[in-house]
Structure 1
């Protein structure tokens, strides 16, 4: 990867400069999906920044889905470029990842957003075929990680069903942090299988409320599934 145009990144903005340079490299094609990044020392030299600043930027880029750490390897030494999200989603996710917001704040926002999109989807009597398919997949998920991914996919589908064009972007921006909280909850609870079963049942109820057009019940169910998760903190 070539050094950034214009020389050394400004010390007070090293984080932003590195992120910007990665975005530029992807736009220009010098970094492509599947490319593996150079070693940490080489990257730090190319950007003319400290390793601390580099690591912070790379962690944020991984959090927003620009990079992915290969299994069994470090975030820096094993990072590869991922297919890119919509720019709005990436920017929102970057602010969430960099802001280090308390989990309770994230859950509160997510709870209100889930209730809103569920209510709207029910008012539209949106088809629930995709939702029921995801519920079946959740019920059959082999691992907690698969379950978390499918749970996030379910709420993305509800957001799309609401017809609100902004809602899917907002949910996707919160996805990584909320997925991490759900995974942490499953890791720490004494009965992860029981939690998964309850969540799957709650999501099935939500899909049924949407299909029947029961807006208030859908809104309640949309927020209810986060109650156990919020109680963890």
Structure 2
């Protein structure tokens, strides 16, 4: 039987640059805080054009593992960083908007993540962690706080509890999942008939959640945060109908 040949995949140049940089990260040769050589030096070493190198660096910047500082001086150039929260949130928000995930998917992911976070925080959170969460609640309770600011503080409160649980990945995922539905949450809250009453009710939930975490009552905090999330989810569904 004659050999059946298949076309080979030809990688685009910037993908080869990405692969080269990734290999050095995986090998431990590049780590957070390290600077890449200037473009004029790195491009010829890799055997690529400076435009292909820039395209690869833009991809790395988008996914939160590199920051590029233009200009001259000690701070100029590209530096490896660890900044997954915003990048992952943007990615999930786009996929949610495109229909890759349903609102039900997001709900169940949040429930699993936040039940785990609040229960673990009741055991692992430091007093300083919880004091920071308390400061966020105080700002949420200030008279005249608007929907957008309240929602931002609300997100930071949930992420702070996730961070205080001792699991950084949980914190990143909590932030990303919440970010994916931020536009929906904002629209839903902006359309409530009595915003001050709604804000007061949400604030009361948050205050009780923090009280339970401080008291070390992890299972009770987990149950309440699930109830809190599912209640908000009902508002989002109603807003989308």
* TM-score > 0.5, shorter chain as reference: yes
| C-alpha displacement of 1:105 | 1.6
Partners of 1:120 and 1:151 lie apart in 2 by: 19
Which residue, out of 88, 91, 94, partners 1:92?
A: 88
Counterpart in 2 of 1:168? 171
How does the TM-score come out when normalised to structure 1?
0.62
| Higher Cα radius of gyration | 2
Alpha-carbon contact 1:139-1:200 (below 8 Å) kept: yes
- Alignment of 1:177 with 2:171, yes or no, is no
Which residue, out of 193, 210, 216, partners 2:196?
A: 193
Counterpart in 1 of 2:115? 115
Deviation >6 Å, runs of 4+: none
Which residue, out of 52, 55, 59, partners 1:23?
A: 59
Alpha-carbon contact 2:213-2:221 (below 8 Å) kept: yes
Counterpart in 1 of 2:211? 208
| SS at structure 1 position matched to 2:226 | helix
Change (3 A) 1:24 1:92: closer
Change (3 A) 1:19 1:104: farther
Alpha-carbon contact 2:125-2:165 (below 8 Å) kept: no
Unaligned ranges ≥5, structure 1: 8-17, 33-83
Alpha-carbon contact 1:181-1:229 (below 8 Å) kept: no
Counterpart in 2 of 1:130? 132
Give the number of equivalent residue pairs: 168
Change (3 A) 1:90 1:150: closer
Alpha-carbon contact 1:107-1:178 (below 8 Å) kept: no
Partners of 1:6 and 1:202 lie apart in 2 by: 52
Partners of 2:81 and 2:206 lie apart in 1 by: 26
Partners of 2:198 and 2:55 lie apart in 1 by: 37
